[in-house]
Each structure stands twice: as C-alpha cells, then as structure tokens.
C-alpha cells in the first residue's frame, strides 16, 4: 500500500524509489527520491572496481554471517580503471624485491589462474617478451632478470640472439630478451562481474549509482557510520573499507585523513593494429624500462577478442575520469596542476612528458617506438583506439607512490570516532588487477586486525 500524504498543496504518493507528485493542476511528475530508511550493515565496501569487489568477496566468504554491501557510484562494476586497462595477467618481473607489489603480484597471478579455472573464465597464457634492442638496454635487462629471479617469478628465461627471439615472436627483432611464459591476457571486467556474483550469492548486496558524498556520525551506537550519497540516499555501517581508485584520496579526506598522497590522473592512449597485421603479434612484447621515464613505455598487447593494442603513452588527464582531451573538469584540473608534487614531477620529466603529449597528437611518433621491435608496422597499419586513466598517487616531492598505501584517521584516538572505523586503500597501482585476489586476502587480514572482527 502506497503511503499518501498532502504537502504544500500537492499530493505525494510514495512507492519504492519513485515519488509521483499530483499537483493541483492535475499534472503528474515523477521524481527520484532517496531511500527513506537507511540500510544497516556490518561492513560496507566503497568502490566496485576489481580490488573492491575482490575484497568484498573475500570478507564475505570468511564471515558469511556478517551483513555486507558494496556501494558503487556508476551503474555497473568495473567502470573505470578495471574496465579500461590492457587486460594483462602480470608475472611479477618489474617490482622491487621485498615490496608488496612483488609479493602480491606473484601470489595474485597464481590465484587468478586458479580462480578462472574454477569459474571457467577464459584467459590465454600468451607469454611476454621484454626485449633489449641495444647494449645499454641489455645491461638493464640483466638487472631486471636478477630482480625477477629474486621475486621468484616462475619459469622465466634469458634469451640471447635474434634467432632465439624469433622462435617466440617471428616478427620481433632484438638482441636479448626475458621470456615469461606465464604472463597472460584476460577480461578483467568479466572477472570483476564474477566477484560480484560470488559476493551476492553469499548474501552480500550491491548498491549501484551510489556516489559517496560524505561520512557522518550516526546516533545509532550499533551502526555509527552513515555513508551519504550525492542523491540523498544513505546506508549505515559498523565499519567501512574504501577502494576508490581515482577517487581514493577524496574518500580518505572525507574521514579526516590528510590530502597526501594525492591522486593525479594520467591517461594512457592506445593505438589499434590493423586486423590484417595482428598475426605479427603472438604474445605481449614489452620494452626494457627506461629510468628517465616514470612509466613503462609503449608495448604490444594482444586482447581476448583477437585485437592488438599498441601503447600506451602517458599524458595528464583533464579530469579524473577523462578518457579524451575533450573530457575536462576545471576544478579537478586545477587541483592536479597546482599540487606541488605534480609540479615537481613535471619539471623532473619535462622532456619525456613533452614527448608523450606529442605522441598523443601525432600517432606516427608512437609508431616509431613500436618499429624498434616490429619494423614492418607502419602508420597506415594503426588507428586511434581506447584509453584508460591511471590513478597515480604522488607525494609532495613529486615521487610516484609505487607500493600500496593504507590509511585511517589518527587525529582522534577515541574508538567511537567514525574515522577510526574507516580503512582506506589509497593506492593500488599496477599490477593491482593481477594481484586483486592476493590484495583481497591482505585487506581482509587488515580489516580483521584493525576492527577486531
């Protein structure tokens, strides 16, 4: 039975999520209304990307009796970073030995393949070649091989000579290479969707179109945290975990955490290889990292649909979810370019950054880098393709935060403070998708430790 009340001369009929206003003139207008009664949970996860969904799934599997929910600001899971990345299952080669990134990537790769086998999620172990094309790169390649060995990356090999490289990638040229047979490709949006299904099957709830605007204190001592959405809806919870990706620093600030490290968005633009030339790329072909450039550099990435992505470059995004130069948010742009960390980063990599912008304007410059590895590819073989935005955390000195960052409000030690009930994952850099199941285990451990669950 709909609830009917008269207010300010109009008749309001409230039913579900819609409010129909019967005006004195007889016209009917439908309006969106906020949920009247907050829903109560033991744990709420803010953010429906792959890390948030994996963490929610892990927590729900460990604690099936707890009421849990995911709140996501878009109309589906995996809308941004997860749904716009290159879809590579990384093996753990690049990362500093002993770092969380190294440990979680190697573990996460194994867990990802195991999960996909259990759920019949398609993937391909196409492998990866990291190719050195000159003597300077060969020295760096050997250092990288030693790093990968320390990280216990499985079954990697150091390959020497053009002929040995061509046995794996017939069209690729180079002097030496690292071969990683367990590097694969996958659709991470599909993986995240399965995480969401697992979570719901265990009794979890997912609230879409729920963009968090604030955290507030509730008078309800059992559920002391109110999570408010921009459209007026709210849920109440005992504890909160945020995995906000591009919005992670803003979510942390809402509970009293400091602004730093700040998220500064960088867009990576890909080119698409002509379908007639995709046979020239069998697996992932990557460059040796250049220490004069903070990002990885352009590479060849086959996709599950048979296409091949080439790139990406790395240019500043004009908004946090800005996938083209036309996507502009003046407030977010000002916030990024006036941050002292971004200013210092820009001066440090001025020449490299300028080159990246030129690559965006002139794809032929990007093709020139690709020709180092497959000379037969020309400008006529490529067209502009998709783009993703990397949620890059920067410190005030202009350093990229390479490892995971967790944060809680420490200004008030009172256990009743809402800040002490909210754990933030402020940085989950690449290979975050590969590592998602391993990250989820670590996050669940941290939630249990911090909140005594």
Total-model pTM = 0.88
Cβ atoms 89, 186 nearer than 8 A: yes
What pLDDT was estimated at residue 430?
83
Confidence of residue 404 (pLDDT cuts 50, 70, 90): confident
Residue 109 burial class via C-beta count within 10 angstroms: exposed 0-12, middle 13-18, buried 19 and up: buried
What would the pLDDT profile of 360-403 be if each residue is shown by its tens digit?
999 999 999 999 999 999 999 999 999 999 998 999 999 999 88
CA distance 271 to 330: 27
Supply the pLDDT for residue 303: 97
pLDDT in tens, 46-104: 999 999 999 999 999 999 999 999 999 999 999 999 999 999 999 999 998 988 899 99
40, exposed or middle or buried, with CB in 10 Å at 0-12, 13-18, 19+? middle
Q: What is the pLDDT of residue 410?
A: 72
What token pair was written down for 225? 């945290």
| Domains (range + CATH), the chain | 3-32 (no CATH), 39-79+190-261+404-451 (3.50.50.60), 123-182+263-394 (3.30.9.10)
User: How much is the average pLDDT of 236-257?
Assistant: 95
Tell me: pLDDT of 447 over 50. yes
Cα separation values, 36 from 17, 32, 33, 320, 388, Å: 9, 12, 8, 32, 37
pLDDT at residue number 408: 87
């Amino acid at each position: 039975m709909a609830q009917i009340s008269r207010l300010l001369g109009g008749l309001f009929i409230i039913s579900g999520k819609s409010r129909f206003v019967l005006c004195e003139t007889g016209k009917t207008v439908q309006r969106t209304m906020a949920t009247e009664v907050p829903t109560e949970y033991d744990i709420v996860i803010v953010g429906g990307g792959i890390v948030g969904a994996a963490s929610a799934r892990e927590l729900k599997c460990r604690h099936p009796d707890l009421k849990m929910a995911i709140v996501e600001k878009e109309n589906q899971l995996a809308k941004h970073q997860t749904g716009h990345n290159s879809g590579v299952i990384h093996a753990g080669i690049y990362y500093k030995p002993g770092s969380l990134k190294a440990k979680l990537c190697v573990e996460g790769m194994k867990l990802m393949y195991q999960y996909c086998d259990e759920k019949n999620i398609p993937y391909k172990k196409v492998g990866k070649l990291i190719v050195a094309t000159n003597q300077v790169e060969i020295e760096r390649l050997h250092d990288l091989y030693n790093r990968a060995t320390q990280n216990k990356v499985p079954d990697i090999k150091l390959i020497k000579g053009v002929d040995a490289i061509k046995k794996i990638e017939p069209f690729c040229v180079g002097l030496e290479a690292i071969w990683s047979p367990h590097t694969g490709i996958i659709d991470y949006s599909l993986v995240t969707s399965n995480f969401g299904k697992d979570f719901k099957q265990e009794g979890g709830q997912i609230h879409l179109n729920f963009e968090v605007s604030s955290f507030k204190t509730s008078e309800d001592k059992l559920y002391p945290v109110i999570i408010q959405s921009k459209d007026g809806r709210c849920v109440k919870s005992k504890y909160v975990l945020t995995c906000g990706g591009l919005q992670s620093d803003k979510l942390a600030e809402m509970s009293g955490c400091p602004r730093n490290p700040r998220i500064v968005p960088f867009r990576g633009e890909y080119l698409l290889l002509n379908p007639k030339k995709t046979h020239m790329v069998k697996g992932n072909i990557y460059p040796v990292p250049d220490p004069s450039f903070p990002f990885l550099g352009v590479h060849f990435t086959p996709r599950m649909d048979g296409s091949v992505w080439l790139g990406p470059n790395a240019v500043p995004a004009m908004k946090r979810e800005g996938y083209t130069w036309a996507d502009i948010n003046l407030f977010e742009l000002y916030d990024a370019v006036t941050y002292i960390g971004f200013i210092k980063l820009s001066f440090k990599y001025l020449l490299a950054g300028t080159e990246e912008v030129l690559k965006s304007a002139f794809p032929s410059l990007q093709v020139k880098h690709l020709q180092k590895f497959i000379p037969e590819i020309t400008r006529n073989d490529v067209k502009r393709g998709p783009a993703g935005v990397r949620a890059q955390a920067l410190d005030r000195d202009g350093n990229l935060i390479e490892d995971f960052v967790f944060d809680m409000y420490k200004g008030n030690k009172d256990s009743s403070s809402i800040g002490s009930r909210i754990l933030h994952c402020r940085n989950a850099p690449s290979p975050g998708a590969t590592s998602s199941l391993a990250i989820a285990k670590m996050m669940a451990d941290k939630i249990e430790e911090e909140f005594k669950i």
